[in-house]
Amino acid sequence: MRRGSIVRITIYGVIAGTIASLAAVLIPWLPTSASEEMDRIEFTFWFTTVICIGIFAIVMAAIAYSVLKFRAADDDERDGPPVHGHTGLEIIWTAIPTVLVTAISVVSAVVLAKNDDAGKNPLRIAVTAQQFAWKFEYPDKTTSGSLVLPVGRAVKLTLHSLDVIHSFWVPEFGQKSDAVPGIETTLVITPTRIGSYSLVCTELCGLGHATMRAQVQVVEATDYQAFLKRAASGDGAPAAADDGAAVYTAAGCGGCHAFEPAGTDAAVGPSLDEIDSGGKPLDAYILESIVDPNAVLAPGYQGDVMPNTYDKSLTEGQIDALVQYLSDGQGGN
Amino acid sequence: MTEIVHTAPDPHHAPASRPPGGLARLRYPGYLRAAWTTPLFWAIGFGIVVFFRWLGHYDPAVDWTVITVVASLTLAPLGFLTGIGAFDYWAYYISGRPTRVDDHASHGATSWKDYFRVNTDHKVIGVQYLVTTFFFFVIGGLMAMFVRAELAKPDMQFVDTQTYNGLVSEHAALMIFLFIIPAFAGLANFAVPLMLGAPDMAFPRLNALSFWLLPVAGVMFLCAFLAPGGAFATGWTSYAPLASDQPLGQVFFNMGVQWAGASSIMTALNFLVTIITMRAPGMTFWRMPLLVWANFTTSLLVVIATPFIAGSQFFVMFDRVMHTNFFRAEEGGYTLAYQHIFWFYSHPAVYIMMLPGFGIVSEVIAVFSRKPIFGYRLMALSLMGILVLGFSVWAHHMFVAGMAPWLRVPMMVTSMIIAVPTGIKIFSWLATMWEGRIHLRTPMLFALGFLSMFVLGGLSGIFLASIPIDIAASDTYFIVAHIHYVLFGGSVFTIFAGVYYWFPKMTGRMYSEKLGKTHFWLTFIGFNGTFFPMHWIGLQGMPRRVADYSEQFGDWNMVISIFSFLLGASTIVFFYNMIISWHRGAIAPSNPWRAMTLEWQVTSPPPIFNFDEIPRVVAGPYEYGVPGARHAVLTGGSGADAGVPEEERVH
């Protein structure tokens, strides 16, 4: 290989590497981190990116150089030099990638071990997923439909599912885990940034999958305590049975149904704004539809979509409050 | 040297039969017979189900779920295959009746109609495969267009959620099981026996049956749209327990996979036996073209892995139909078992969809760089390395699934290591081009497009092998980007390269180079514009398989949709080129690419039994630039139809 060609291919390599680096830097690849775990994931991401940009630049430079330099005219019938291989080169391109992927593996394994470690005294929150809602239970047994976390403290989430597989993901936290029926999975998150985030389900779980979201708030420790107190006395807990709006949110009704008073507009199930009870007393019809959704199907909707477990997962008081709330929200009725 | 003897009809055979007239025609293999055997078999299935349910006092006796599985999805397809004559020879043989004469009436094609019959000629079957798979490519592609139309803006516009999920699932199922896997089987069906110097595949009738199972599977997938509740809507992964509780359309997937899988396994066995036993004299394993090596390893993967997806789909279906509890946690089943079994096939399936492409690219790059493949033996060995490692990485699809934590790091290490044999291949292709005399014909453009896109797909694969990054990226659009860089930028580009490369050999005509290059550039631009932005919208928070998404991703999704329509439109150029060129392209010489492998040493298209005499292989297949080197010696009329009567040639 002549010196001129080395210079040229190096230039191509630098150009390809620069383009790739610009793409890496200018495009907002990752969401702004909001947890210690995401910080470590970001480190792994950029560590891998640097190595990959190098490989990408080499391959692109070789392709570009070959195409520009070795292109033959259409009527050129000569063959290239009969080179069958080069053991040294083959050893090099076996050995170097091996070293590089080993390095990435080691970094990844270390980061994984740290990201799995919740420390000695994590805050434990139980997450229950079902089609198509999330429920969170705090150490003092209060529950809510949105997740509130104190900043700066490691949280260990234990995930359960009541029906099919769901997956817990807050992009800014990085961490993700499926909630699998029959087994318990765990997830460690140490929030670092106060703010409001969105929890999305990332495992296809049925019709309402795309709208199976929940709000996540990271707050100061004192605000967290205040939230627990408020929740225990009013927001979604059994004691709050009289508040139908809270039950509506906590049970995840808005994941599938539109209901103007609650500000939800999902279209998986029928709208609850103008319920047609088909001649039955309205309250009785609503109650039946909650505890036994397949009894009467709204025209245009199929059965076996809505969970038929609400008579178990909600208390009688909560169901009554919900019926009252929905019935009060009927325009003109 | 072995001579091919055209034997006279064997007296034990029944006389050669042309379609009889009148009512007897109803008994002659063909669509007319299928028209009554299919409903007959369906009725038998219906009768079996109703009779046994009545006998066992099950209520109701007429249960349409069970009838769908037994009558519509199992027996009716068997009836169809019986009707068109896929089992005739074996049925006659087993029952002791005289078999139909083996005069090769079902061999070769004399008119376009012969492509719609059961045919035992590997070249005809290869074309049947390709035309069928490209038909499903169009259908699956149109579904992707609907999906992108819906995703162009947030909120729901054109379809409801069930239909959307159905479109996504059908798109993936068709592209994987009815396009990429069988399209490679089709190309290999055409090329491998020729490359080996063999007159046909080892088992031509089995070969015909493998092909005919394919339209059965494809029609089954499509018929799912007619089922009450719509098509299967759980993604092509069809995870339990969701898949056990879905509307009836789901069983069309469960069963369709069985038919496509059976087709795959039969073809793979056929390739293995052909490659092991039917190599021409002198064709040692180390003299086989890399396409043959690639199909050898692919076939091993198929034979070992495919039964696992068959099992996983049967189990899910049994949970629904027979009330078993393989995956129902509330009844003591183990939900994650589904994913382990499924991915034990479906990760190797990624290599089933990749290795034949590696083979095609090796052929194309060597020929169009006019140089021997760099490091031929290591190229073959790296295929075997991928084969072995491919079975040890499946759980990297399950890093967030809640599986045994200790299993994660070992699976990460094997997933990382598999990049090494893949890297060897990429560097060897680059070294093959180095100092060559590169001709940028359409197959070479697609091979280079493959190289650059597959490198990106491979590198994003490194990200996904790293567990912490995978935990963030899993089930997002990053995965959608990765899989399309690997399976579209990788596999589909190589399929295009292969189709253009062998088009002259298959049809005897040249394709239009200008249209081919237009097709390449439109595809290349449309592809990157569609799939590159998916990387970051995924990492930023857009999950996969959603019809509705957060407002913040609206702009990029609009960009992606526009490029995807360009990508869709680019295939129109391809089909126009294929149809026009097949019809009235320039007559192809026997060896337009000046290639050394054996398929180019015979006429285009090849004679009915490929070689008038069995070639004698004397050296490797890529001896470009070696003075006086030949891959094989064909004495007397090599590359010409000498000795073959005009009417036996395929035109």
Same domain (yes/no): A57, A110: yes
- Summarize pLDDT for A132-189 with one digit per residue, the tens: 889 999 998 888 888 999 999 999 999 999 999 999 999 999 999 999 999 999 999 9
CB of A171 less than 8 A from some CB of B: yes
Report yes or no on A227 lying in a domain.
Answer: no
pLDDT at A265: 75
Q: Is B219 exposed, middle or buried (0-12, 13-18, 19+ CB in 10 A)?
A: middle
Report yes or no on A235 lying in a domain.
Answer: no
Q: Is the dihedral of CA B315, B414, B472, A119 positive or negative?
A: positive
CB of B588 less than 8 A from some CB of A: no
Report yes or no on A239 lying in a domain.
Answer: no
| pLDDT over 70, % of chain A | 96
User: CA-nearest residue of chain B to A44?
Assistant: B469
- Summarize pLDDT for B350-360 with one digit per residue, the tens: 999 999 999 99
Closest Cβ opposite residue A105 in set B162, B416, B436 = B416
Same domain (yes/no): A141, A48: no
CB of B335 less than 8 A from some CB of A: yes
- Summarize pLDDT for B210-225 with one digit per residue, the tens: 999 999 999 999 999 9
Closest Cβ opposite residue B372 in set A82, A165, A167 = A82
Same domain (yes/no): A63, A144: no
Same domain (yes/no): A107, A51: yes
Mean pLDDT, range B429-449, rounded to an integer: 95
Cβ within 8 Å, pair B624-A207: no
| pLDDT over 90, % of chain A | 55
Closest Cβ opposite residue A48 in set B431, B466, B548 = B466
B110, pLDDT greater than 80: no
CATH code for position A260: 1.10.760.10
DSSP-derived 3-state class of residue B419: helix
Cα-flanking dihedrals φ and ψ of residue B619, to 5°? -160, 180
CB of A143 less than 8 A from some CB of B: no
CB neighbours (10 Å) of residue B132?
A: 21
CB of A305 less than 8 A from some CB of B: no
Same domain (yes/no): A13, A110: yes
Interface of B with A in 165-184 (CB under 8 A): 165
Mean pLDDT, range B64-91, rounded to an integer: 93
Cβ within 8 Å, pair A82-B623: yes
Report yes or no on A75 lying in a domain.
Answer: no
Q: Which of B15-19, B63-67, B417-421, B453-457 has the lowest mean pLDDT?
A: B15-19
pLDDT at B54: 94
Mean pLDDT, range A250-265, rounded to an integer: 80
**What mean pLDDT, rounded, does chain B reach?**
91
Q: What predicted TM-score, i.e. pTM, was given to this entire model?
A: 0.90
Mean pLDDT, range B380-392, rounded to an integer: 95
User: CA-nearest residue of chain B to A300?
Assistant: B229
Cβ within 8 Å, pair A78-B402: no
CATH code for position A204: 2.60.40.420
Closest Cβ opposite residue B547 in set A86, A182, A210 = A210
Closest Cβ opposite residue B402 in set A108, A112, A185 = A185
Using a CB-CB cut-off of 8 Å, the residues of chain A touching B150 are none
Closest Cβ opposite residue A104 in set B335, B435, B466 = B466
B15, pLDDT greater than 70: no
Interface of A with B in 244-283 (CB under 8 A): 267-268
Using a CB-CB cut-off of 8 Å, the residues of chain A touching B370 are 72, 78-80
Interface of A with B in 16-35 (CB under 8 A): 27-31
Band (A331; pLDDT cuts 50, 70, 90): low
Exposure b/e, B561-587, CB count within 10 A at least 16 = b: bebbeebbebbebbeebbeebeeebee
B99, pLDDT greater than 80: no
pLDDT at A1: 58
Same domain (yes/no): A190, A270: no
pLDDT at B101: 60
Same domain (yes/no): A153, A135: yes
| pLDDT over 70, % of chain B | 93
Same domain (yes/no): A105, A171: no
CB of B104 less than 8 A from some CB of A: no
Q: Residue B287 region, left (φ>0) first, then alpha (ψ -120 to 50), else beta?
A: alpha
Residues 6+ positions from B11 with CB-CB distance below 8 Å: none
Using a CB-CB cut-off of 8 Å, the residues of chain B touching A93 are 423-424, 427
The amino acid sitting at B550 is S
Cβ within 8 Å, pair A59-B229: no
DSSP code, position B59 = S
- Summarize pLDDT for B320-345 with one digit per residue, the tens: 998 999 999 988 999 999 999 999 99
3-state SS, one letter per residue, for chain A: CCHHHHHHHHHHHHHHHHHHHHHHHHCCCCCCCCEHHHHHHHHHHHHHHHHHHHHHHHHHHHHHHHHHHCECCCCCCCCCCCCCCCHHHHHHHHHHHHHHHHHHHHHHHHHHHHHHCCCCCCEEEEEEEECCEEEEECCCCCEECCEEEECCCCEEEEEEECCCCEEEECHHHCCEEEECCCCCEEEEECECCCEEEEEEECCCCCCCHHHCEEEEEEECHHHHHHHHHHHHHCCCCHHHCCCHHHHHHHCCHHHCCEEHHHCEECCCCCCCCCCCCCCCCHHHHHHHHHHCCCCCCCCCCCCCCCCCCHHHHCCHHHHHHHHHHHHHCCCCC
DSSP character string of B292-305:
HHHHHHHHHHHHHH
User: CA-nearest residue of chain B to A82?
Assistant: B625
Using a CB-CB cut-off of 8 Å, the residues of chain B touching A94 are 420, 423-424
Cβ within 8 Å, pair A82-B370: no
Helices B161-173 and B249-277 sit at what angle, rounded to 10 degrees?
10
Mean pLDDT, range A223-236, rounded to an integer: 79
| pLDDT over 90, % of chain B | 80
Same domain (yes/no): A106, A37: yes
Band (A236; pLDDT cuts 50, 70, 90): very low
Interface probe, candidates B528, B539, B544, B559, chain A, greatest A C-beta count within 10 A: B539
Q: Is the dihedral of CA A267, A268, A271, A272 positive or negative?
A: negative
Using a CB-CB cut-off of 8 Å, the residues of chain B touching A109 are 409, 412, 467
Same domain (yes/no): A20, A103: yes
Structure-model confidence comparison of residues A254 and A119, the more confident one:
A119
Report yes or no on A107 lying in a domain.
Answer: yes
Mean pLDDT, range A272-290, rounded to an integer: 85
Whole-number CA gyration radius for chain B: 25
Report yes or no on A226 lying in a domain.
Answer: no
Separation in Å, CA A277 to CA A259, A281, A305, A311, B602: 16, 7, 19, 20, 77
B145, pLDDT greater than 90: yes
pLDDT at A6: 85
CB of B226 less than 8 A from some CB of A: no
CB of A207 less than 8 A from some CB of B: yes
Structural domains counted in chain A: 3
Q: Is A206 exposed, middle or buried (0-12, 13-18, 19+ CB in 10 A)?
A: buried
Report yes or no on A233 lying in a domain.
Answer: no
Closest Cβ opposite residue B462 in set A59, A104, A109 = A104
- Summarize pLDDT for B478-498 with one digit per residue, the tens: 999 999 999 999 999 999 999
- Summarize pLDDT for B271-294 with one digit per residue, the tens: 999 999 999 999 999 999 999 999
pLDDT at B581: 96
Band (A237; pLDDT cuts 50, 70, 90): very low
Same domain (yes/no): A139, A159: yes
Whole domain around residue A155: which residue ranges? 123-220
Interface probe, candidates A204, A265, A297, chain B, greatest B C-beta count within 10 A: A204
Tally A–B CB contacts below 8 A.
Answer: 273
Q: Is A106 exposed, middle or buried (0-12, 13-18, 19+ CB in 10 A)?
A: exposed
Report yes or no on A77 lying in a domain.
Answer: no
Using a CB-CB cut-off of 8 Å, the residues of chain A touching B413 are 105
B353, B491 contact by CB (below 8 A):
yes
CB of A99 less than 8 A from some CB of B: no
Residue that finishes a domain, picked among A220, A235, A269: A220
A75, pLDDT greater than 50: yes
Return d(Cα B392, Cα B386) in angstroms, integer. Answer: 10
CB neighbours (10 Å) of residue A20?
A: 20
Of A69-78, A246-255, A289-298, B375-384, the range with the highest mean pLDDT is: B375-384
Same domain (yes/no): A107, A172: no
pLDDT at B649: 41
Cβ within 8 Å, pair B401-A70: no
Using a CB-CB cut-off of 8 Å, the residues of chain A touching B401 are 165, 178, 180
